[in-house]
A and B are shown apart, each in its own frame.
Chain A
């Protein structure tokens, strides 16, 4: 049975005169935990942006659940969630309001309105904020008043609350202390295991630099100069692979 959830077919992306992604072919299967490795500027963020549909590739096609991304409706597209490297939180809103933004896709306009006016208690947001070890004293604080680590966890909570099938994360462990890294890593990857019983299990792709975190992933993709150099099971990863991309 074909359980490919996300597929890139011959994807290239050019920005001005630079070829950022070069003829990338990639299949991501349901339930896979993938680590995306590569040095800074290798194209990891661009690849994630193509995968979630933020960037339209110059060439090639992106497929989500075997359908072209372009043809999908809003609800289907919301099956992917992203934790951005630069977080992309709304600075003027509070931590809680930002986390609630993750629920905008499944709710109507009135919900957005209630969120801005703070006229309802948002239990779901609180649940995910607690999971991300965010203390309730910061719920009402504006994003600009939070520390780097707190902002990082707000961004993670906003993505997790969407309970999407596919999670893309671009260096989600930045700004976190070692203890929090373990907690957040378990939280991101736990979802995959928990939902294995579901029809469409959660799939996670994480771009990272820290090699000591690779043990929890089952597949490793190496990227360099916009090209995929290897796409292998973690057990097969050898020093030579890493030398190719770093």
Chain B
């Protein structure tokens, strides 16, 4: 009997098995109460509301979204690069600083990024009240840590021998640091900058759902009032914003050899750093801690979380992450492989774009129109949204790949699907899985968002505890969240290392 051989290709499809228990629960929970609403939601996509009033609102809301999204992106990418340098081993080698500090900074950043920006946002809203700048700060906190990881990982790829040769020239330490790191940092910015900008805009929208402002708030309000035509006006305008920002970023040439451009970018970096520091100080010293009476309340408030209930929440969060990751990994290659023709490709790309575009809470609320709230539904939501992101990466890689193997296989009479699988996808499977390992880190954090809406896992409990100002419970839930995210990151790191 032939044994099933596990390789990168089969590993990319195997996680789809999570759909068996998922489908079972979803079928059991189906209801047709909101089917009409769902229908209306879909039809409205082709008939968005367009009048003077809504156009003015869209411009106003987009303006806020751009402000929050762009500033949080700018600050987080600059500070991310700075912390990326501090958390890369090359910095410690150049300055002969013990590795001890390197581990401390890395651990500190891991904890910060393990908590989703929505969670930071909710906490900051509880402490400071709803404020425009809360959005920027809430995004910046985890994003600086996330970006620092991206930069640090790129800096770790610097050839150690280049470092040795610069070291042997005996140049001043700062000159060596600049010479070695300049180009890797610029390249990282070029490669990941646009993606991070898109992430910032998406996070701004999600935070908007929690009342921060921007187009997210309008999306949520129109959904609550079931005004789907208005909702789609906001969603399409958001789509235009994301596409336009991508086009502008791609057209901007970041040439390090252009004097004027280089000086301009350096000026922006310094102004951003100065502005961020002064604003941070202003924010700290000019805010009344509206709801957060004192730090001592954290210790005074009691926790009513039972141990078994708490463990159940943790387990739910882990299962939610695993199922969502399974969908995000396997669904894109499966769909692209099965519907392997040009027309389907365009349709899949559009659906993937919409899944990325529509905030997860909105997807979840839409699915709730014909399914009861459950862990499976939350997992499906998170899985579909992330499948939109992983499919974008898969398409980009497949489109840029050498197609000669695929053509050769087809010319041998092998079916189109098999040729795609063996001639195209199999060569991408390893790097695709490696990216999915990184994506699953993010999925763990995103369980907080769907948890809040879908009454599942720690996210739900966090919302409950925050609403009742039970700070001790908030602390316990956050520690649990961080621990799951850190363990997840460690496991994914190991998987990623074995794949690269």
Spell out A's residues near B (CB within 8 Å).
52-54, 74-75, 77-78, 80-82, 84, 86, 88-93, 101-102, 104-105, 107-109, 111-113, 115-119, 140, 162
Contacts and interface: CB of A to CB of B under 8 A. Distances in A.
Secondary structure at chain B's binding surface: helix, strand, loop or mixed? helix
Interface in B364-410: none
A70 B178 CA distance: 25
B82 interface: no
B170 A90 contact: no
Contacts of A104: 166, 169, 171-172, 175-176, 179
28 contacts: A52-B168, A74-B170, A81-B168, A82-B168, A86-B161, A88-B162, A88-B164, A90-B166, A90-B179, A90-B180, A90-B183, A91-B159, A92-B183, A92-B184, A93-B179, A101-B169, A104-B169, A105-B171, A105-B172, A108-B175, A109-B174, A109-B175, A109-B178, A111-B175, A115-B179, A116-B183, A117-B262, A162-B169
A81 to B, nearest CB: 8
Nearest to A102: B169
B259 A78 contact: no
Contacts of B171: 101, 104-105, 112
B191 interface: no
B495 to A, nearest CB: 28
Contacts of B259: 117-119
Given A53-B168, A89-B165, A117-B256, 17 more contacts: A74-B172, A75-B170, A89-B162, A90-B162, A90-B179, A91-B162, A101-B169, A101-B179, A104-B169, A104-B175, A105-B170, A109-B175, A112-B172, A112-B179, A116-B256, A117-B262, A118-B256
Q: Which 4 A-B pairs have the closest CB atoms?
A: A104-B171, A88-B165, A92-B183, A112-B175
A54 B167 contact: yes
Interface in B217-260: 256-257, 259
Contacts of A116: 178-179, 182-183, 256
Nearest to B165: A88
A53 B180 CA distance: 20
A53 B167 CA distance: 10
Contacts of B183: 90, 92-93, 116
Contacts of B263: 117
A52 B166 CA distance: 12
A81, A92, A107, A140, most chain B CB atoms within 10 A: A92
Contact of A78 (B169, B184, B256, B262): B169
Contact of A84 (B165, B176, B182, B187): B165
A74 B263 CA distance: 30
A105 B9 CA distance: 50
Contacts of A118: 256-257, 259
B164 A54 contact: yes
Contacts of A54: 164, 167-168
A107 B175 CA distance: 9
A109 B339 CA distance: 57
A52 B170 CA distance: 11
A108 B179 CA distance: 12
A90 B159 CA distance: 8
B161 A88 contact: yes
